[in-house]
Amino acid sequence: MRLSRYFLPILKENPREAEIVSHRLMLRAGMIRQQGQGSFTMLPLGKRVLDKVCQIIREEQNRAGALEILMPTIQSAELWRESGRYDDYGKEMLRIKDRQERDMLYGPTNEEMVTDVFRTYVKSYKDLPLNLYHIQWKFRDEVRPRFGVMRGREFLMKDAYSFDLDYEGAKAAYNRMFVSYLRTFARMGLQAIPMRADTGPIGGDLSHEFIILAETGESQVFCHKDFLGLPVPGESTDFDNDAEIGDIVQEWTTPYAATDEMHDEAAWANIPDADRLSARGIEVGHIFHFGEKYSKPMNAKVQGPDGKEHFVSMGSYGIGPTRLIAAIIEASHDENGIIWPESVAPFDVALINMKPGDAECDRICDQLYSTLSAAGKDVLYDDTDQRPGGKFATADLIGLPWQVIVGPRGAAAGEAEVKNRRTGERETLPVGAVLSRFA
């Protein structure tokens, strides 16, 4: 992509409304435009990151056996009356009437709708386990929308729903999602810690929030330092092997970790001071087993091997892709801007032509642009007539992992400079070597 043809509305000044660094940098880097309270347009650069984040989530959901669907955003109140949640949900739900005066709502979540899909088609235990997910916009009329996409009112969510014959099956489904989440966040360069979360009236221990430690986090969390060194399950993890998956969950739930509501002072007191991490955290994911909470009132049942009918045992599993973008920036930036992990970077390489119009600079940049692109690299080619200082600042701000810089002196010698955004290391290489470095 040539920057001269791109839409990258960089802000020079720090926007006053932004209280935290991720919000500030997303606005300054031209990733988002606020449209209303808690609602945002994803501009081209932001949209590219969002797509990368969603793709990682999708790949890891699929790997764990979940199947992608897409449910509507607007739902009928009827379904929510069946579960009893229409009245319970309160002011966070945006309620709408259609032209026939029917009560509708903009979905804050989809348990009812997916249970309706399930009960329509699935009648036998032989069709289980089943896990359906979608990546869809949600609306929650938050009391305090703030920090940009970190707490929006309209935000994207990946929500998965598992259906099993009994608790044992549901627990295995829960474990698969647990492990899938470990891989998902690690692939985004994040250290996410699963923490015991409140299960409310459902009870049991099957609820975990996945938390990124960050000063700007809205929750107070407590955990053992051991989490920082635990190995993340690899690509060869066998999601069909319940024992293997169970062992990983066991390992990742053994050290102490709890959110504020679940914090146990007595257990905490047993951990040596030096091993304690008491910090602020950002909830990027949440998995929850709730058994028959919806299947019973909504009559979602299957025939078991015993010939009897059983209400299915369910769980739900959420991740916030839009919030994740902010969380990744909170975890990875410096005073000059964002530092994208390679896996979610909007482009791989910033190609900077320091002197467009100089025949050698143009020729070498064109060559690098086409060969790097042909090698599968996404290149953002700064071919604008901005001054070099401005170009460097833009490249640092938008945080692409690599910068390839071509100036008149180097060009005359057939050389270009390669800069690593994260370490700041620079290397001058012959143009041919730049290509082989990325190919």
Give me the residues that bind Mg ion (CB under 5 A), please.
283, 286
Q: Binder to ligand ATP among 110, 259, 322, 332 (CB under 6 A)?
A: 322
d(CA 154, CA 38): 6
Min dist. Cβ of residue 23 to Mg ion (A): 18
| Binding-site string for ligand ATP from residue 250 to residue 269, where x marks contact by CB under 6 A and - marks none | --------------------
Residues 285-304 that bind ligand ATP (CB under 6 A): 285-286
Min dist. Cβ of residue 55 to ligand ATP (A): 17
Residue 119 · residue 130 · CB < 8 Å = no
| Interaction between residue 177 and ligand ATP (CB under 6 A) | no
Nearer to Mg ion, 164 or 283 (CB): 283
Mark 87-126 as b/e (b = at least 16 C-beta within 10 Å): eebeeebbeeeeeeeeebbbbbbbbbbbbbebbeebeebe
d(CA 22, CA 425): 24
330's contact among ligand ATP, Mg ion, none, with CB below 5 to 8 A by partner kind, is: none
| Interaction between residue 85 and ligand ATP (CB under 6 A) | no
Non-local CB neighbours of 409 within 8 Å, separated by 6+ positions: none
Residue 348 · residue 418 · CB < 8 Å = no
Nearer to ligand ATP, 115 or 353 (CB): 115
| Interaction between residue 318 and ligand ATP (CB under 6 A) | yes
Nearer to ligand ATP, 131 or 394 (CB): 131
Residue 38 · residue 153 · CB < 8 Å = yes
| Binding-site string for ligand ATP from residue 157 to residue 176, where x marks contact by CB under 6 A and - marks none | x-------------------
155's contact among ligand ATP, Mg ion, none, with CB below 5 to 8 A by partner kind, is: ligand ATP
d(CA 25, CA 337): 7
Q: Binder to ligand ATP among 46, 148, 152, 291 (CB under 6 A)?
A: 152
Residue 400 · residue 349 · CB < 8 Å = yes
Min dist. Cβ of residue 111 to Mg ion (A): 13
Nearer to ligand ATP, 142 or 378 (CB): 142
| Interaction between residue 181 and ligand ATP (CB under 6 A) | no
From the list 353, 316, 336, 323, the residue with the least C-alpha distance to 422 is: 336
DSSP letter at 264? -
Residue 24: C-alpha distances to residues 50, 155, 280, 350 (Å): 17, 18, 20, 21
Task: State the residue for tokens 């690299």.
Answer: 377
Total of chain residues touching ligand ATP, rule CB under 6 A: 15
Min dist. Cβ of residue 389 to ligand ATP (A): 36
**Site residues (vs ligand ATP, CB under 6 A):** 140, 142, 151-152, 155, 157, 283-286, 318-320, 322-323
